[in-house]
Amino acid sequence: MLLFSFLHAFPHVSGQGILTQEVQEELEITKADSLAKLPFSIVGITRELGATEKLLVGSEALDLSEENLEDYTADVDSLFTQIELFRSDTSLFSLEDLSFRELNQIGQQIQFYMDQINEQVSRYSGIVIELENQMLQLHVKRQRWLLTLEQGQADAALEARKQRIQGTLQRVDEVRLGLQEDLVVLFGRNTAAHRNTDFHL
């Protein structure tokens, strides 16, 4: 049964888990949307600029280089190759001719691959969730700064910091774009690997 489940259900397993805890994420998005509708207090502008700068620095640290992206996907590609070689073993098509010891070894190998699949799914999930969370925080900051500029046009204290705020907004857009491109690449490579691995017999 383990062999049957592995060979026939693997395509579905490999595509799951990328976005987990959907209910919790919906609540976070709802909370973020509500917060994004609130401008910053003029009194705390300097403090908020510092907080946004700190968020930007943290977000830039998460932006994955091409080398990082290759590292994250190399193990997945290697795993799919190993599984495909295992699946193409002709002995798997005549299990009745195998001894109990051989069947046990096959079962252990299948369990090993299933553990590796779960490990890679968790790895991708962690990366994706972290990037999406950071993008959500940047989105909230961006909306709040736009509202602050719009509603505080007549305030002299805000006017004195307008140029810095606009520069901050530009950086937010640039960093968000970088994180978004990382997500596109990660999803694209995961989807391609999933599509190119057909385990139906």
Dihedral sign for Cα atoms in the order 30, 34, 37, 39: negative
pTM for the model: 0.70
Confidence of residue 137 (pLDDT cuts 50, 70, 90): very high
pLDDT attached to residue 122: 86
Residue 168 has pLDDT above 80, yes or no: yes
Question: Are the C-beta atoms of 82 and 120 separated by less than 8 Å?
Answer: no
Highest mean pLDDT among 30-44, 45-59, 67-81: 45-59
Average pLDDT, the chain: 79
- Average of pLDDT values for 27-56? 85
d(CA 200, CA 148): 56
SS3 content of the chain, % helix, strand, coil (to 5): 85, 0, 15
Residue 72 has pLDDT above 70, yes or no: yes
pLDDT attached to residue 95: 75
pLDDT attached to residue 85: 87
Residue 13 has pLDDT above 70, yes or no: no
Highest mean pLDDT among 13-22, 152-161, 164-173, 191-200: 164-173
Residue 145 has pLDDT above 90, yes or no: yes
Domain boundaries, the chain: 45-195
* Identity of the residue numbered 13: V
Q: Taking the CB of residue 151, how many other CB atoms lie within 10 A of it?
A: 13
d(CA 74, CA 85): 17
Question: Are the C-beta atoms of 61 and 177 separated by less than 8 Å?
Answer: no
pLDDT tens-place string over residues 84-124? 888 888 777 777 777 888 888 888 998 999 998 888 888 88
pLDDT attached to residue 6: 45
pLDDT tens-place string over residues 16-31? 444 455 555 665 667 7
Which are the contacts of 92, defined by CB distance < 8 A and separation ≥ 6?
3, 7, 86, 106
Question: Are the C-beta atoms of 60 and 173 separated by less than 8 Å?
Answer: no
**Within 13 Å, how many C-alpha atoms sit on residue 104's CB side?**
3
